[in-house]
Amino acid sequence: MCGIVGYVGSKKATPILIDGLLSLEYRGYDSAGIATIENDVIKVMKDKGRVNNLNNLEGINDLVGTIGIAHTRWATHGKPSKENSHPHMDNSGKFAVVHNGIIENYSDLREFLTSKGYTFISQTDTEVIPNLIHYYYTNGPVSVIEDTKEKFLGAVKSAIYDLKGSYAIEVISTILPDEIIVVRKDSPLVIGKGNGENYIASDIPAILKYTKEFYLLDDNEFAVIEKDSIRFFDNSLQEHNRAIKNIDWDANAAGKDGFEDYMLKEIFEQPTAIRETIGSRFRLGEKCSFDDIEISKEYLQSINKIFIVACGTAMHAGLVGKALIENLCKIPTEVDIASEFRYRNPLIDEHTLCIYISQSGETADTIAALKLAKAHGAKTLAISNVIGSSITREADYSIYTHAGPEIAVASTKAYTSQVVLISILAIYFAEVLGSSSETVLEELKSDLIDLPSKVEKILDDTEVIKAFAKKVYAEKDMFFLGRGTDYNVALEGSLKLKEISYIHSEAYAAGELKHGPIALIENGVTVIGIITNPNLLEKSISNLQEVITRGAKTLIITNQILPNGHFDYVINIPETNPLISPILSVIPMQLLAYYISKQKGLDVDKPRNLAKSVTVE
């Protein structure tokens, strides 16, 4: 949701800024812009629409400045327009700002600044920020400071102190034309260290081609960035040191690598992502281990409940985790949507473990829910794909998937990696507690090890899925049915279809059909059934027979032997433990959503209205 890029060095900033914005397109946006300093004058180039539109703006090729900031905006205040696009400047033209997040008290600040003679061009909340900085630089308590560097930073700090909400902010000024000041709160921001040049971005992939050395800012932390130096300051502007992290992602992993779309590439990367996530965390005949955490038997025995909290696809991974933990560890487990969890007064205390799942580690609702749990004395554990992300820095414990960069907005390899990781975590807890037999756990480990080759087998033959997509792509409604973990993965399949094909779809527990949803089944409606648990085979077939008799056409994803002639299309997947079957059964549903979207001529990687990382509530 919105994207930030910044550069200071000796090269022309504009190509680097635009390249970074192109790398962030997957986050979702409606406008884009850059600002550079040209001969002590800030030049702003911005417009609504795609990043590539910037290349057509008059004068863009004349920019030669070696310092600049850039932004892709996803509208929260003000419709998409050139005026509402970032960057925004103050009335004097001395300060330019880009901002991710939401300023909740912007109306009050705008009223205050208007009373001081400031005027506004846009409808955005962001425009108050550069004007506040100018106000404090010229009128506030820092205006008496003689040192220009100290005065500039102090003015930014004073302005930030007035803001309520979430933000990641970059500031440049003609007053100090060789430095960028950045600050963040509840919105991601990273700094990439180069040789005689430095980079800023909201996501690591945007600048990964330029450096693998990163500083990860904490909330309420400032950084002053010049081409040869990066200085860090706390909320009181006390300078401190910050450790650098080496991010060993392959920069090419953020490219399409010959695939038509990022989503298809990431679907086919799932065998590798699963292998990387398993890594060295277990071998057959040995207990699971995590380098990141060590949890005692005494602590696990003291837990009376586990909450798994997440949003969207990550929440669906959590539903599979619930089944695993309850079956293997015998600990009651609830799964909550993060945006609801905070506001329902959940019963949390020191005997509660809260697990938070977020691909980016920057999901605002999930982070807020984590902070709530900590305030009530619960231990917190984060599952993320991004080392050093906000959620992992807030949590008591953190463990990481190793899916690599996921660029497409619709998550695929992040989901399967999350389910794999939470499976290993459940086995680890069970081994510590001694709550399941060694035989059961070893068999489950063996099934996990076999998953990558089984995913490859599914990906080797996609013709049935392509053929089905061609038959149903024009439909308006579809239904997904399953029982147990098959219902959990049906929710994810339905979400994928909605996200990228814009077809209305619903997922139901198959046993709930007669309690209302069957009224929606009519002749020609498509129903997708998932059947992977032999104990539920007969019940599932019986439920699906109910929709067939009402004229539905059916696609079944299964690893069971089905009666002949019952179903229109059947996709056979390899057998595995039903607890982890969603890792396999989701693959055909990912592909189905993809091929339907392509058949409709839609933008698969950047579906409308959606953003990769939801960093505001």
pLDDT at residue 130 in the model: 97
Q: Are residues 231 and 259 in the same domain?
A: no
Q: Are residues 582 and 479 in the same domain?
A: yes
Does residue 613 form part of some domain? no
Whether the CB-CB separation of 348 and 377 falls below 8 Å is answered with yes
Which residues constitute the domain of residue 591?
463-599
Does residue 110 form part of some domain? no
Say how far apart CA 435 and CA 475 lie, in whole Å: 47
Whether the CB-CB separation of 429 and 328 falls below 8 Å is answered with yes
Does residue 161 form part of some domain? no
Does residue 536 form part of some domain? yes
Q: Are residues 509 and 390 in the same domain?
A: no
Does residue 7 form part of some domain? yes
Boundary (domain end) residue, out of 393, 424, 459: 459
Q: Are residues 195 and 90 in the same domain?
A: yes
Angle at 579 between CA 574 and CA 584, to 5 degrees: 35
Give the closest residue to 599 by CA, choosing from 530, 505, 497, 526: 497
pLDDT at residue 613 in the model: 53
Alpha helical stretches, state H, 24-105: none
Q: Are residues 505 and 582 in the same domain?
A: yes
Neighbouring C-beta atoms of residue 104, cutoff 10 Å:
14
Q: Are residues 195 and 280 in the same domain?
A: no
Q: Report residue 37 as tokens.
A: 């300093």
Q: Are residues 235 and 311 in the same domain?
A: no
Does residue 113 form part of some domain? no
Residues assigned a catalytic role: 2, 612
Looking from the CA of 546 toward its CB, the CA atoms found within 13 Å total: 19
pLDDT at residue 88 in the model: 97
Boundary (domain end) residue, out of 216, 248, 280: 248
Query: Does the predicted TM-score (pTM) go above 0.85?
Result: no
Q: Are residues 566 and 425 in the same domain?
A: no
Q: Are residues 539 and 444 in the same domain?
A: no
The domain spanning residue 184 has which CATH number? 3.60.20.10
Domain total for the chain? Answer: 3
Whether the CB-CB separation of 517 and 506 falls below 8 Å is answered with yes
Does residue 366 form part of some domain? yes
Burial pattern 311-338, b for ≥16 Cβ within 10 A else e, equals bbbbbbbbbbbbbbbebbbebebbbbbb
Q: Are residues 366 and 492 in the same domain?
A: no
Say how far apart CA 112 and CA 118 lie, in whole Å: 9
Q: Are residues 200 and 311 in the same domain?
A: no
Does residue 128 form part of some domain? no
Q: What is the 3-state secondary structure (H, E, C) of 508-534?
A: EEHHHHHHCHHHHCCCCCEEEEEECCH
Give the closest residue to 402 by CA, choosing from 281, 552, 527: 281
Q: Give me the residue label for tokens 């846009």.
A: 122
pLDDT at residue 254 in the model: 56
Boundary (domain end) residue, out of 415, 440, 459: 459
Q: Are residues 217 and 260 in the same domain?
A: no
Q: What are phi and psi of 527, to 5 degrees?
A: -125, 130
The domain spanning residue 361 has which CATH number? 3.40.50.10490
Amino acid, single-letter form, for residue 535: N
pLDDT at residue 515 in the model: 85
pLDDT, block means (10 residues), the chain with 617 residues: 89 95 74 94 92 92 96 78 93 95 88 96 94 93 83 95 90 97 88 96 86 90 97 95 82 67 92 86 87 88 96 95 97 94 90 93 88 93 85 91 85 95 97 96 96 95 93 93 95 96 92 80 89 91 86 91 84 96 97 96 87 53
